[in-house]
A and B are shown apart, each in its own frame.
Chain A
């Protein structure tokens, strides 16, 4: 067993998967930051994003990037509408809001099941073949997705840091009351925040559709990963999520190298519980205990 090869390969895998987890989690942590709501329907927006990409690419023969952009726009609008229509009454009610998103998740998944059927669909891969990074072997398709993912994250960073609505959103994430005093109308930023969260989940789904299969049930795993990343990183903290996502990707990659598959999963849940108890704020979060 060539340990150096394995180690480099595991590191590369870990970083790539870590980035994918970050993309899954960033929308989730934004929604919590803006609305202090744990969005159980996050995984279903990921699933709808995957279907969006599938139909736009395989059905409407659109180029992949266009499909991703359209899927994002659709999910942004859809998410904002859903927040305004369904979740508005629960804006300041964390617990009932969370339960409401459980209901929303059930509706979305089963609507998809009705229209798209249970069988998994497959998208043509974005790219063929394998590229070598030093010793490590990386499927080219994954590299493309990683590049797109970085682009999306950079765009998000730019939006939050430089654009006016972006800064306003960050203010709302920072502190709801103060933001309101400065005249930032929460009526506008709740739908925008939730819509952006849904859009980011859909983009993650669309980007990863060619890597994995597309079916109404793909939402479960990303929601679980987003939970873990956001808890470790600190609810509402995007930099925290970034650090936590990378750590999770690496820990999972190394753990599955050394331990049996399911023991690795158990290890991660144990870490999550320990973190929640010892440091509920998470690595960089400032959510209160």
Chain B
């Protein structure tokens, strides 16, 4: 009487995956497509699809004398660790995937690493937590710069040129918020300023007036937005300006300028200094943005180019290794790539000092000032410093 669901399910899944004329390389996308992190997850999935399309149109990925059609399989992890584990199981054991783009969140990446590392599956994650990269996790890479990399150079530049002294900040009470709070406090102290006011709040909170009131009363001259989802950052700016705050607003990490301007409006965001991993004027970045705009109608999230480069770095590593199956070789080749011309500019790996392994992409990034809702590049930066 009970429908043997498990039998029905496994037969359905096993039937797929018949061999086409060319071989197929499946790229897994373990991303957040619903809830707060949806904007970032969507950007990463689209980046993988664009990279795959480009390779397929050029006749397929040429590795070891064989041509591969690249297929992207995407599942939603709902920004939750348990769901991410189930999706990882499905990708690794059912879809037999050896390369995964994602996950977005820090908790999900920590949860799936026992599976991906043991099965030697190469993972390109966005997870901000410093614990994502370490010596005993050889198969995990991070193509996007995080607070740990960008905060120090940018904050040094901001303190030097904008004369920021006392900074106040609001952080969500989740793994990303707690991680970024630590990084920023250290960075501001080293730069000669101070981050005396730190407030943590429930992730889906919408009313920040009480917290802002307390912060403004402490006489801060800048508000730091890093660590908040785009919509939340927008509301903080909106409500701070509504409370009559005229001081500086900075966001030294997590690209979300377009979303912040949408929520807070042009006037409130005028003169805001933001981190941006992309310089729209750079030809390679502009080319990717045009490709993205042509294919998807909603606005492109700032992390998308990083994962477009991540996918291309993977393809390059496979070409050099001459194999798609032996991820041990592909990993070794991937680590050796440097001076790669990606959408974000000249790319190489870094992170030995910070994480014990060079699996953190060192891409150029910029400090921009928001003028009339648009980003105007003010400084070009690398891990060493900003000019």
Contact between A262 and B201, CB atoms less than 8 A apart: yes
Bound-state CA distance A217–B206 (Å) is 11
Complex interface: chain A residues within 8 A of B234 (CB): 120, 122, 213
Which of B39, B199, B213 is within 8 Å of A119, CB to CB?
Answer: B39
Contact between A120 and B259, CB atoms less than 8 A apart: yes
Q: How far is the CB of B74 from chain A (nearest CB, A)?
A: 15
Q: Mark B281-317, 1 if CB is under 8 A from A, else 0.
A: 0000000000000000010000000000000000000
Indicate whether B210 reaches chain A with its CB closer than 8 angstroms: yes
Stretch at the interface among A3-11, A66-74, A154-162, A231-239: A3-11
Contact between A137 and B243, CB atoms less than 8 A apart: yes
Which of A2, A118, A218, A265 is within 8 Å of B217, CB to CB?
Answer: A2
List residues 223-268 of chain B with CB under 8 A from any CB of chain A: 230-231, 234-235, 238-239, 242-244, 259, 262-265, 267
Q: How far is the CB of B326 from chain A (nearest CB, A)?
A: 38
Indicate whether A101 reaches chain B with its CB closer than 8 angstroms: no
- Contact residue range for chain B? 35 or more
Indicate whether A13 reaches chain B with its CB closer than 8 angstroms: yes
List residues 242-269 of chain A with CB under 8 A from any CB of chain B: 252-253, 256-257, 260-262, 265
Complex interface: chain A residues within 8 A of B33 (CB): 118
Contact between B298 and A119, CB atoms less than 8 A apart: yes
Q: How far is the CB of B334 from chain A (nearest CB, A)?
A: 32
Bound-state CA distance A124–B264 (Å) is 9
Indicate whether A212 reaches chain B with its CB closer than 8 angstroms: yes
A125-B243 in contact given A6-B217, A118-B34, A262-B200 (Cβ < 8 Å): no
Contact between A120 and B231, CB atoms less than 8 A apart: yes
Q: Which residue of A lies closest to B33 (CB)?
A: A118
Q: Which residue of A lies closest to B299 (CB)?
A: A119
Indicate whether B209 reaches chain A with its CB closer than 8 angstroms: yes
Which of B42, B201, B242 is within 8 Å of A139, CB to CB?
Answer: B242
Contact between B206 and A212, CB atoms less than 8 A apart: yes
Contact between A13 and B202, CB atoms less than 8 A apart: no
Q: How far is the CB of A277 from chain B (nearest CB, A)?
A: 24
Complex interface: chain B residues within 8 A of A120 (CB): 230-231, 234, 259, 262-263
Complex interface: chain B residues within 8 A of A218 (CB): 206
Q: Which residue of A lies closest to B36 (CB)?
A: A217
Q: Which residue of A lies closest to B239 (CB)?
A: A139
Bound-state CA distance A265–B39 (Å) is 27
Bound-state CA distance A125–B264 (Å) is 9
Contact between B235 and A213, CB atoms less than 8 A apart: yes
Q: How far is the CB of A54 from chain B (nearest CB, A)?
A: 12
B207, B213, B214, B264 pick with most chain A CB within 10 angstroms: B207
A220-B204 in contact given A13-B210, A117-B298 (Cβ < 8 Å): yes
Q: Mark A1-23, 1 if CB is under 8 A from B, else 0.
A: 11001100110010001001000
Which of A10, A20, A139, A261 is within 8 Å of B200, CB to CB?
Answer: A261
Complex interface: chain A residues within 8 A of B230 (CB): 120
Which of A9, A118, A128 is within 8 Å of B35, CB to CB?
Answer: A118
Complex interface: chain A residues within 8 A of B259 (CB): 119-120
Contact between B263 and A213, CB atoms less than 8 A apart: yes
Bound-state CA distance A118–B259 (Å) is 12
Contact between A221 and B173, CB atoms less than 8 A apart: no
Q: How far is the CB of A269 from chain B (nearest CB, A)?
A: 11
Q: How far is the CB of A197 from chain B (nearest CB, A)?
A: 22
A257-B213 in contact given A17-B207, A119-B39, A262-B202 (Cβ < 8 Å): yes
Q: List chain B positions with a Cβ less than 8 A from chain A.
A: 33-36, 38-39, 42, 173, 199-202, 204-207, 209-211, 213-214, 217-218, 230-231, 234-235, 238-239, 242-244, 259, 262-265, 267, 298
Ranked 9 nearest A-B pairs via Cβ:
A139-B242, A118-B38, A120-B231, A256-B210, A261-B201, A122-B263, A212-B206, A130-B244, A213-B231
A–B pairs, 19, beta carbons within 8 Å:
A1-B218, A6-B213, A9-B217, A13-B209, A13-B213, A17-B207, A119-B38, A119-B259, A120-B259, A120-B263, A122-B234, A142-B242, A213-B263, A217-B35, A217-B36, A218-B206, A261-B205, A262-B200, A265-B202
